[in-house]
Amino acid sequence: MEKNKLFYKLLNYPLVYSLSQIIMSATSFRKKIIKNIVKKKKPYILDIGCGPAEILETLSDVNYFGFDVNKNHIDFAKKKYKDKGIFKCSKFSSKKINKKIKFDYVLLLGLLHHLNDKQSYFLLSEIKKVLKKKGMLITLDNIYIKNQNIFAKKLIDLDKGQNVRTKRQYLKILSKDFKKIQCKIYLQKFIPYTWFVSKSFL
């Protein structure tokens, strides 16, 4: 269950959400990570929990599929990026993807910490069905670590998602369906924050 306060309700609106992400440096961080990882030409990309799909500002010449349960965000994405991708207001399921389509990259940018373990395991098993053999799953979430910056920890405690994990806990979830996992923890200086980024392969 996610926190149900006025501020979190406001995040359902794309402009408010986008502004909060910019203030927290989350937007620039996501763009930097994706720009450094996604190198393949004209890749097929599945973005689950895509929000208003602003990651498309970083990606060019891609075959993009975005899923999100927030209708406001999907409507915004369809209007702004209508020529750049396909957007669906729905929970992701492999059944909602044409069987002929397999993805080079699957993005879970800030999603796992909104899902409990059972939901995460189910989602990863579905992703496995649509990812190419040499494809990559990219995740990005906030994380708890030892000796964490006090301010960073407080901000993470206030996050809308109720399932922020430790490195060990994230790896436990990912390792069920993915054989090779590369991960790194980033300590953001301004505004103080802590990120967990992983690249996983079948």
Helix (H) or strand (E) holding 193, with range, is: strand 193-201
Give the CATH number, domain containing residue 18. Answer: 3.40.50.150
Q: For position 7, what pLDDT does the model report?
A: 56
User: pTM of this prediction?
Assistant: 0.93
Considering the domain boundaries, does residue 150 fall inside one?
A: yes
Domain range holding 163? 6-201
Instruction: Write the DSSP symbol of residue 133.
Output: E
Query: Sheet of 193-201: strands edge to edge?
Result: 85-89, 63-68, 44-48, 103-109, 131-142, 193-201, 180-188
Q: For position 169, what pLDDT does the model report?
A: 98
Considering the domain boundaries, does residue 146 fall inside one?
A: yes
Q: For position 176, what pLDDT does the model report?
A: 96
Q: Which residues of the chain have pLDDT under 70?
A: 1-8
Considering the domain boundaries, does residue 29 fall inside one?
A: yes
Considering the domain boundaries, does residue 1 fall inside one?
A: no
Instruction: Give the whole-angstrom CA distance, residue 63 versus residue 72.
Output: 22
Considering the domain boundaries, does residue 167 fall inside one?
A: yes
Q: Classify the C-alpha dihedral 130-136-139-140 as positive or negative.
A: negative
Q: For position 1, what pLDDT does the model report?
A: 38
Specify the number of domains making up the chain. Answer: 1
Considering the domain boundaries, does residue 80 fall inside one?
A: yes
Q: For position 2, what pLDDT does the model report?
A: 44
Q: For position 30, what pLDDT does the model report?
A: 96
Q: For position 15, what pLDDT does the model report?
A: 80
Considering the domain boundaries, does residue 51 fall inside one?
A: yes
Task: Record the tokens describing residue 32, joined without a space.
Answer: 């930097």
Q: Pairing relation of β-strands 193-201 and 131-142?
A: antiparallel
Helix (H) or strand (E) holding 78, with range, is: helix 71-80
